[in-house]
């Protein structure tokens, strides 16, 4: 079967279970669920939610590991006329308390171990704490307006308190159709769901697989070896990850029975480095490797055709179906080819804004040429003569040394290319003479520093040389598994101020 053609018509998101009734929809250690069984459980979970007496549009939060309930809540809550607020299971009580208060959640559905970590005051007085979902009378599929709010996804909060991104049924539905189309997913695909369901792409792994009738195998993993075993156990054809996970997986032994079923690898949540591209292509030579870019406010935005990744490992490609991408100067005019500009997103994948935050919504969601409303990403990209977009850096991450604007990514890629370090984060710190100097934070063995510095002096100009290198055994990550760049930056700046 060929990949489905993208249709610009959106349905309520709970219609996404579109596989054959007897085909597997969810794979787990308890035998999994067929599409017919998943539909029945969504209907009864929605009936239970509808029986709780909440007002239409009330927010219901879930804070769960990757159980069946966690996989079905994104469909059941909207079917019941409610708005789902998934909370990353890795978050701690203070972050959970903020999300509950900010969203005005009518209920928190969790389980006993996580409920036991909450302290008095974490759950607002008007939020119902529930540790076990029930079943009610089966509800039919929703007839909601696709533009109605279906979910609020909270960002990781690496730059402050988490903010809730409002997503409609249409945002979720069209995102599922778009990804299923360009990944060429089919009913015989089995997708290993390692990303959190609270992460936009982690949730989309469910939707984009189900909309073509494929199966998802959710996985909470502790070690990279758990991922390898799960691929072999389920015969997973598709694996999505973020750069830190790929680094760990490349350092893990992969038996042939785990490599063989993989048809595609998809990356988001950070740019792939050329060294990661080479490593993944060596380990999975028969698999298509998709480099992708996106942000929660506009979901997925670009992807690179796998046929072009070997020759263009630094590219993020072009627009996905339903997305319109622009590269604009600060005055809103289009940047020329080869000229860095801000990546701006328009079209039906653009979110509805930030929940109860008109000020930040107005800052990020602004008009753009030909559009009354678009998402200004804050990311600098450049459009090459080959028609491919390449990531340069974020406005707030760019380093300026002696008048030279430097992309942290360029320094990080240089630091990693020789193999002295496993992971890298480049940070600009204030300097009274040059404006900023560069601190390079690395995961690896500090004994490698002399060789690294010798190589960097040969490969990078003087103004791009790190003034200081800080070594760690492992670099910290945020709740979505991404490198905690903001946390590392605060740590480095705090140490400089107290030195």
160 located within any domain? no
159 located within any domain? no
309 located within any domain? no
pLDDT in tens, 334-372: 999 999 999 999 999 999 999 999 999 999 999 999 999
pLDDT in tens, 218-245: 999 989 999 999 999 999 999 999 888 8
Q: Is the pLDDT of residue 4 over 90?
A: no
51 located within any domain? no
230 located within any domain? no
- Rounded CA separation 239/144 (Å): 32
Structure tokens at 98: 């903020």
Give the angle subtended at the CA of 25 by the CAs of 24 and 30, to the nearest 5°: 75
| Residue entry with tokens 């792939």 | 272
Structure tokens at 282: 């060596």
Number of domains in the chain: 1
456 located within any domain? yes
333 located within any domain? no
Task: Please tell me the predicted confidence (pLDDT) of residue 243.
Answer: 85
DSSP string, 192-214: EE-S-TTSHHHHHHHHHHHTTT-
Q: Is the pLDDT of residue 160 over 70?
A: no
CATH of the domain at 415: 3.30.300.30
| Residue entry with tokens 């029945």 | 40
Say if residues 81 and 51 touch (Cβ distance below 8 Å).
no
- Rounded CA separation 278/59 (Å): 44
- Spell out the alpha helix ranges (H) of 51-168: 68-79, 93-103, 112-115
Strand, helix or coil for residue 459: helix
**What is the helix (H) or strand (E) element at residue 34, kind and residue range?**
strand 33-34
Which residue range(s) make up the domain with 445?
A: 397-498
pLDDT in tens, 63-114: 999 999 999 999 999 999 999 999 988 888 888 999 999 999 999 999 999 9
pTM strictly above 0.75:
yes
| Residue entry with tokens 């604009």 | 328
């Amino acid at each position: 079967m060929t990949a489905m053609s993208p249709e610009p018509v959106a349905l309520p998101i709970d219609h996404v279970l579109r596989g054959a009734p007897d085909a597997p929809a969810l794979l787990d250690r308890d035998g999994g669920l067929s599409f017919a069984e998943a539909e029945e459980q969504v209907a009864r979970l929605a009936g239970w939610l509808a029986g709780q007496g909440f007002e239409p549009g009330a927010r219901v939060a879930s804070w769960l590991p990757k159980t069946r309930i966690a996989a079905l809540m994104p469909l059941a809550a909207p079917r019941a006329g409610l708005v789902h607020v998934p909370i990353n299971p890795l978050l701690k009580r203070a972050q959970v308390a903020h999300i509950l208060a900010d969203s005005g959640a009518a209920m928190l559905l969790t389980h006993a171990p996580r409920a036991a970590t909450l302290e008095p005051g974490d759950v607002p007085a008007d939020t119902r704490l529930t540790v076990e979902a029930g079943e009610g009378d089966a509800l039919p599929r929703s007839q909601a307006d696709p533009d109605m709010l279906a979910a609020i996804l909270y960002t990781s909060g690496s730059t402050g308190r988490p903010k809730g991104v409002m997503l409609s049924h249409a945002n979720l539905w069209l995102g599922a159709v778009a990804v299923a189309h360009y990944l060429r997913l089919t009913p015989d695909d089995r997708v290993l769901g390692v990303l959190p369901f609270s992460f936009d792409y982690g949730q989309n792994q469910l939707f984009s697989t189900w909309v073509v009738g494929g199966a998802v195998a959710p996985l909470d993993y502790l070690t990279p070896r758990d991922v390898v075993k799960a691929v072999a156990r389920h015969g997973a054809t598709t694996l999505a990850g973020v750069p830190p996970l790929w680094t760990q997986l490349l350092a893990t032994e992969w038996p042939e029975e785990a490599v063989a079923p993989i048809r595609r690898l998809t990356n988001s949540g950070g740019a792939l480095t050329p060294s990661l591209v080479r490593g993944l292509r060596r380990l999975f030579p028969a698999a298509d490797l998709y480099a992708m870019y996106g942000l929660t406010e506009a979901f997925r935005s670009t992807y690179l055709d796998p046929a072009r990744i070997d020759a263009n490992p630094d590219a993020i490609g072009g627009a996905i179906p339903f997305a319109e991408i622009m590269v604009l100067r600060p005055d809103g005019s289009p940047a020329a080819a080869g000229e860095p500009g801000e990546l701006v997103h328009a079209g039906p994948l653009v979110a509805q804004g930030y929940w109860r935050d008109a000020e930040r919504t107005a800052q990020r969601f602004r008009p753009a040429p030909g559009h009354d409303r678009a998402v200004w990403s804050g990311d600098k990209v450049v459009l090459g003569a080959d028609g491919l977009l390449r990531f340069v850096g974020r406005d707030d991450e760019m380093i300026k040394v002696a008048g030279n604007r430097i992309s942290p990514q360029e320094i990080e890629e240089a630091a990693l290319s020789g193999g002295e370090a496993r992971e890298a984060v480049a940070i600009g710190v204030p300097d009274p003479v040059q404006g900023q100097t560069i601190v390079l934070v690395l995961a690896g063995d500090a004994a490698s520093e002399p060789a690294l510095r010798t190589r960097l002096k040969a490969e990078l100009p003087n103004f791009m040389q790190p003034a200081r290198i800080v070594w760690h055994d492992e670099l910290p990550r945020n709740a979505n598994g991404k490198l905690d760049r903001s946390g590392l930056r605060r740590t480095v700046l705090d140490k400089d101020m107290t030195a």
